[in-house]
Homo-oligomer: A and B are copies of this chain.
Amino acid sequence: MTKDEGRRTISRYCTPRHGGGKLHRMNIHELVRELREPADTKIVLLVADGIGGLPLEPGGKTELETASHHNLDECARDGVCGLSVPVLPGITPGSGPGHLALFGYDPLEYRIGRGILEALGINFAVGPKDVAVRGNFCTLGADGKITDRRAGRPTTERCVELVKKMRTITVPGVEVFVEPVKEHRFVLVFRGDGLGGNVNDTDPQQVGLEPLTAAEVRQQTVPAVPTDRDSAKTAAAANEFIAKAREVLKDDAPANGITLRGFATHPNIVSFKDLYGLKAAAIAVYPMYKGLARLVGMDVLDAGQSLGDQVATLRKVWNDYDFFFLHYKYTDSTGEDGNFPAKVQMIERLDKVIPDIRDLGPDVLIVTGDHSTPSKLRSHSWHPVPTVLTAETCRTDECEEFSERACLRGGLGQFEAKHLMLLAMAHAGRFGKYGA
């Protein structure tokens, strides 16, 4: 991209709109597109999933405060620290909103439906024409009523066999994809023009009832947002698929029926490249995070299976990209397990690769998380997430170590996660001045 292309929208700045009425407040993405400039700089965003924690006892130390991590501490001394608020104070995000915010997409604006997230989680490449749905095998009695909502929990191998049978099903006018997940779970994707996602769940949520019929549901949001997508068409496709599945599975009791839920359309998100002008690579091990990166248009690379593999991949493709999203899962999974010492260990393991990353000479290195996952709570939480950013242009703060407590005194303060990419772009010399 030439400098001129980078500034191609500058004329918008020169034409404030105030003729007929209300002023238009620029949103973050308009601002990014207007200000971005090409540069030969590299940004690394290292997401230590769920890195923020809690002390087990009041006044005690968090996992991060307990761990030994002199390399992260060095980042804190060299750079600027702060605490990232993933969505809003008190709001605990799932992985979807947590990552979208870090990528600079307002998580209250860009929402990823359940079905799409399920599809991303198995690394299914969802596209803009897709409606994705989470499916369950269930047991239907002779009267058509559900006797087991999980079909006796089939093995995953059995799930794969059952899905293979369902792959023979065709529905006129739409393309159908069925993918196994685990045990009684599968993902169903309808692909076609103008398919809507406003369809009710067919799972009645209790046994002794027949599965519900899929139908278009009216949006309950105020104000109602008009849509040019036809959810009735999706509902018809779903009902046809369900009927054919009952036929295909009729001899497979206890897995002789299905229920569907979480109908969701692709969020039609502007790509990372179009937004920031960054050529971005995702180096993640787990499918969900590959899926989220693919959703915003990053190249999803073969990252291997370990942090070492990931850093090796990073080194290998260093010259080919501007932006690198590295995802580290184990700070979250150990937190979810409620295993405080294991989470401490996983933080220490992460710390060891920091010098390898810094040796590559990133212009901006950010270490943060998509949310906190305190072992004490065995789940994601709303607590702000320790964050450190290193770059030549950092203003020194008084953080001498990387911890929840130290980050409270950091120069980034407590900030909304969705603003982090603005800081990354600025420190990477990729933003021009706003206004003259």
Is A172 in the interface zone, CB < 8 Å from B? no
Q: Which of B87, B222, B265, B423 is A21 in contact with, Cβ under 8 Å?
A: B222
CA distance A421 to B91 in the complex (A): 11
User: Are A422 and B15 CB-contacts (below 8 A) given A227-B20, A414-B413?
Assistant: no
A366 to chain B, nearest CB (A): 12
CA distance A433 to B205 in the complex (A): 20
Tally of this chain's copies: 2
**A396 pairs with B60, CB closer than 8 A:** yes
Nearest chain B residue, comparing its CB with the CB of A411: B408
The digit string for A87-105, where 1 denotes a CB below 8 A from any CB of B, is 1111111111110000000
Is A263 in the interface zone, CB < 8 Å from B? yes
Chain B residues with CB below 8 A from A432, complex form: 92
**B58 pairs with A396, CB closer than 8 A:** yes
**B94 pairs with A394, CB closer than 8 A:** no
CA distance A421 to B89 in the complex (A): 9
Chain B residues with CB below 8 A from A376, complex form: 393
Is A326 in the interface zone, CB < 8 Å from B? no
A80 to chain B, nearest CB (A): 9
A362 to chain B, nearest CB (A): 15
**A89 pairs with B419, CB closer than 8 A:** yes
Is A365 in the interface zone, CB < 8 Å from B? no
CA distance A4 to B205 in the complex (A): 9
Is A253 in the interface zone, CB < 8 Å from B? no
User: Are A435 and B111 CB-contacts (below 8 A) given A78-B58, A408-B409?
Assistant: yes
Is A306 in the interface zone, CB < 8 Å from B? no
Interface majority SS (helix, strand, loop, mixed), chain A: loop
**A434 pairs with B94, CB closer than 8 A:** yes
**A415 pairs with B264, CB closer than 8 A:** no
**B394 pairs with A58, CB closer than 8 A:** yes
CA distance A422 to B107 in the complex (A): 16
Q: Which of B108, B380, B405, B422 is A91 in contact with, Cβ under 8 Å?
A: B422
Q: How large is the interface on A (under 10, 10 to 19, 20 to 34, 35 or more residues)?
A: 35 or more
User: Are A114 and B13 CB-contacts (below 8 A) given A23-B109, A24-B221, A411-B408?
Assistant: yes
Q: Which of B12, B91, B114, B414 is A220 in contact with, Cβ under 8 Å?
A: B12
Of the candidates A16, A225, A376, the one having the most CB atoms from chain B within 10 angstroms of its own CB is A16
User: Are A221 and B91 CB-contacts (below 8 A) given A226-B19, A436-B96?
Assistant: no
Nearest chain B residue, comparing its CB with the CB of A405: B398
Q: Which 8 A-B pairs have the closest CB atoms?
A: A19-B227, A90-B422, A90-B426, A94-B435, A97-B435, A19-B229, A413-B414, A16-B111
A-B contacts, 18 of them at CB < 8 A, read: A9-B220, A12-B219, A14-B263, A15-B198, A15-B263, A16-B113, A17-B221, A19-B196, A20-B227, A20-B228, A21-B222, A24-B221, A31-B91, A58-B396, A382-B426, A395-B404, A408-B409, A408-B411
- A: residues with CB less than 8 A from B are 4, 9, 11-26, 28, 30-31, 35, 54-55, 58-60, 62, 77-78, 83, 87-98, 106-115, 117, 196-198, 200-201, 205, 217, 219-223, 225-229, 261-265, 267-268, 376-377, 379-384, 393-398, 404-405, 408-415, 419-427, 431-436
